[in-house]
């Protein structure tokens, strides 16, 4: 079974721009969660989607948003990029709603200049 | 107090020995607990989940959970150099989202 895929793997943007990251979950998984990982803050929860609905949201500003499509694929968008948004963005999928075993994709490394 | 706390290490263990990784959590209502392994430059990989008090064994790995003490641990028997990685403890508190500790960096010395 193919794992979680994320595109693009690497991205370089400048301050003020916006970015969209994509995640395709494991086949049959309907829940997708997004995380931000930085050396200082570690892994922090952004949001979780299940059946195209946002079920939970972390403590991030409104510049961070996401959505999920009917095929369970998910995108996250960051608008008005700041230098501090430079991080590894990880997507994880699980079979159902709520928090059960989550499997991570390879991540998208975002650098904001 | 952080929701999930781990000793950041580095923890250095000789090859063949038992590596013991510890994690404490603050929300007494937490029900699900996970251990992830993350190699440098890679994404986290799920290695163990535990939901009930006691021990759960999977190969060389044993997860231990003590809800009364709000403590979860991971033991790695017969440690191998390939076990060198950062180990992340993750807990699901009442807010129903996965909260990660900062991770413990483990080094296995040949």
Task: Give residue A87's pLDDT.
Answer: 98
Taking the CA of residue A104 and the nearest CA in chain B, the distance in Å comes to: 6
Residue A108 near residue A78 (C-beta atoms within 8 A): no
Task: Give residue B19's pLDDT.
Answer: 97
Q: Is B96 on the interface with A (CB under 8 A)?
A: yes
CA distance A58 to A35: 9
Q: Where residue A98 falls among pLDDT bands split at 50, 70, 90? A: low
Q: Where residue B59 falls among pLDDT bands split at 50, 70, 90? A: very high
Taking the CA of residue A100 and the nearest CA in chain B, the distance in Å comes to: 8
CA distance B34 to A12: 32
Interface contact A99-B97, CB threshold 8 A: yes
Taking the CA of residue B99 and the nearest CA in chain A, the distance in Å comes to: 7
Across chain B, mean pLDDT equals 94
**Closest to B88 (Cβ–Cβ): which among A33, A43, A103?**
A43
Task: Give residue A59's pLDDT.
Answer: 93
pLDDT of residue B14 exceeding 90, the answer is yes
CA distances from B6 to A112, B14, B72 (A): 30, 21, 10
CA distances from B23 to A44, A92, B52 (A): 17, 22, 16
Query: Taking the CB of residue B103, how many other CB atoms lie within 10 A of it?
Result: 24
CA neighbours closer than 13 Å in the CB half-sphere of residue A36: 22
Q: Is B33 on the interface with A (CB under 8 A)?
A: no
Q: Where residue B96 falls among pLDDT bands split at 50, 70, 90? A: confident
Interface contact A90-B43, CB threshold 8 A: yes
The pLDDT tens digits of the residues spanning A36-57 come to: 999 989 999 999 999 999 998 9
pLDDT of residue B11 exceeding 80, the answer is yes
Task: Give residue B16's pLDDT.
Answer: 97
């Amino acid at each position: 079974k193919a794992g979680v895929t994320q595109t693009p793997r690497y991205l370089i943007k400048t301050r003020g721009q916006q970015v969209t990251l994509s995640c395709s979950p494991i086949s049959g998984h309907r829940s997708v969660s997004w995380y931000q990982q930085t050396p200082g803050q570690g892994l922090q929860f952004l949001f979780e989607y299940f059946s195209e609905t946002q079920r939970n949201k972390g403590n991030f500003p409104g510049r961070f948003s996401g959505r999920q499509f009917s095929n369970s694929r998910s995108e996250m968008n960051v608008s008005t990029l700041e230098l501090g948004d430079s991080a590894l963005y990880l997507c994880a999928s699980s079979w159902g709603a709520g928090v059960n075993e989550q499997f991570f994709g390879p991540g998208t490394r975002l650098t904001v200049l | 107090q952080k929701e999930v706390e781990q000793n950041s290490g580095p923890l250095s263990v000789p090859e063949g020995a038992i590596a013991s990784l510890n994690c404490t959590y603050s929300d007494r209502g937490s029900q699900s607990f996970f251990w992830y392994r993350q190699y440098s430059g890679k994404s986290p990989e799920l290695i163990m989940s535990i939901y009930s008090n006691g021990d759960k064994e999977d190969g060389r790995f044993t997860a231990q959970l003590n809800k009364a003490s709000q403590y979860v641990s991971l033991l790695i028997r017969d440690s191998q150099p390939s076990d060198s990685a950062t180990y992340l403890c993750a807990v699901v508190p009442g807010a129903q989202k996965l909260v990660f500790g900062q991770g413990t960096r483990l080094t296995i010395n040949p």
